[in-house]
C-alpha cells in the first residue's frame, strides 16, 4: 500500500495500513514526489493500493491522469480521501470502464466544496461495478474536531511566545 500524502507532522497514517491487515506499507510524501526525489511512476507501478490524502494545490491538480492510471497495476485499488481534482475525472472514469479489475474508492468528489454548487459528476461513475463512493465523510472520526482545536490553540500559544508555528501554507500554492 502506498500513501500519497502531503507532509504533515501531525498526521500519522501508518495505522491505516495496519487496519487493512498489511504488515508494512510505504508512505510517500507528495512533496517529495512533486520535487522529483521520488518517481511517481515507480510508486504507482509497485503499489497494489494507493491512498491519496493530498490537498488540492497548483502542483497536485490532475496529479493522477490517464498516463498515471496506465502505470498502475491492472488490479490496483485507488482511494482518494484528499481532494477530487487531484485525479482527472474523465481519465478515472475511462480507466475504470476499460479496466474491470481496477477499483476505486472515492470520498472526495469534483464538485466539492459545497460553495461550488450542488453535488454533480460529469460521468456516470455509479453505473460502474468497480467503484465505491462516499459523501466526503472519511474525516468524520472520533475526536477529530477536538484534536484540530487543540492543534490550533497550540499554534496560538507558540505564536504568542514567539516560537515557530506548524502547518503554515503558502497562498501561492493554492491560487
* Same domain assignment for residues 117 and 152: no
pLDDT of residue 109: 84
Q: For residues 108 and 164, state if they share a domain.
A: no
Q: Are residues 69 and 147 in the same domain?
A: no
Tell me the CA distances in angstroms from 75 to 66, 102, 121, 142, one per residue in order: 16, 4, 24, 32
The chain-wide mean pLDDT, for the chain, equals: 79
pLDDT one-digit tens code per residue, 51-106: 888 888 888 899 999 999 999 999 999 999 888 899 999 999 999 999 999 999 99
Residue 119 and residue 174 in one domain: no
Q: Domain check: are 28 and 103 in the same one?
A: yes
84 and 146, same domain (yes or no): no
pTM over 0.75: no
103-137 pLDDT tens trace: 999 988 887 656 667 777 889 999 999 999 887 77
Percent of the chain with pLDDT strictly greater than 90: 34
How do residues 6-35 score in pLDDT, each as one tens digit?
545 445 555 555 555 554 444 444 444 444
3-class SS of residue 150: helix
Residue range(s) defining the domain that contains residue 163: 141-175
Instruction: Provide the domain count of the chain.
Output: 2
CA angle in degrees (0–180, nearest 5) for 148-150-153: 110
Asked if residue 150 and residue 108 are part of one domain, the reply reads no
Q: List pLDDT tens digits, range 148-157.
A: 889 899 999 9
Question: What residues contact 118, with CB distance under 8 A and at least 6 apart?
Answer: 111
Clarify whether residues 59 and 130 are in a common domain: yes
Write out the catalytic residue numbers: 83, 112, 136
Which residue in 2, 11, 6 sits closest to 34, CA to CA?
A: 6
Sign of the CA dihedral with 135 first, then 145, 1, and 50 last: positive
Answer yes or no: are the C-beta atoms of 32 and 8 closer than 8 Å.
no
Amino acid at each position: 500500500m502506498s500513501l500519497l500524502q502531503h507532509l504533515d507532522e501531525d498526521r500519522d497514517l501508518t495505522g491505516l495500513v495496519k487496519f487493512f491487515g498489511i504488515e508494512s506499507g510505504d508512505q510517500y510524501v507528495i512533496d517529495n514526489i512533486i520535487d522529483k526525489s521520488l518517481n511517481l511512476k515507480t510508486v504507482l507501478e509497485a503499489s497494489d493500493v494507493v491512498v491519496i490524502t493530498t490537498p488540492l494545490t497548483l502542483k497536485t491538480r490532475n496529479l493522477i491522469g490517464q498516463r498515471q492510471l496506465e502505470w498502475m497495476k491492472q488490479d490496483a485499488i485507488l482511494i482518494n480521501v484528499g481532494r477530487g481534482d487531484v485525479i482527472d475525472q474523465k481519465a478515472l472514469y475511462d480507466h475504470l470502464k476499460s479496466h474491470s479489475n481496477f477499483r476505486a474508492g472515492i470520498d472526495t468528489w469534483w464538485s466539492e466544496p459545497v460553495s461550488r454548487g450542488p453535488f454533480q459528476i460529469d460521468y456516470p461513475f455509479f453505473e460502474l461495478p468497480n467503484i465505491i463512493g462516499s459523501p466526503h465523510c472519511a474525516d468524520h472520526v472520533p475526536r477529530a474536531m477536538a484534536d484540530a482545536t487543540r492543534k490550533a490553540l497550540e499554534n496560538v500559544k507558540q505564536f504568542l511566545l514567539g516560537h515557530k508555528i506548524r502547518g503554515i501554507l503558502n497562498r501561492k500554492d493554492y491560487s
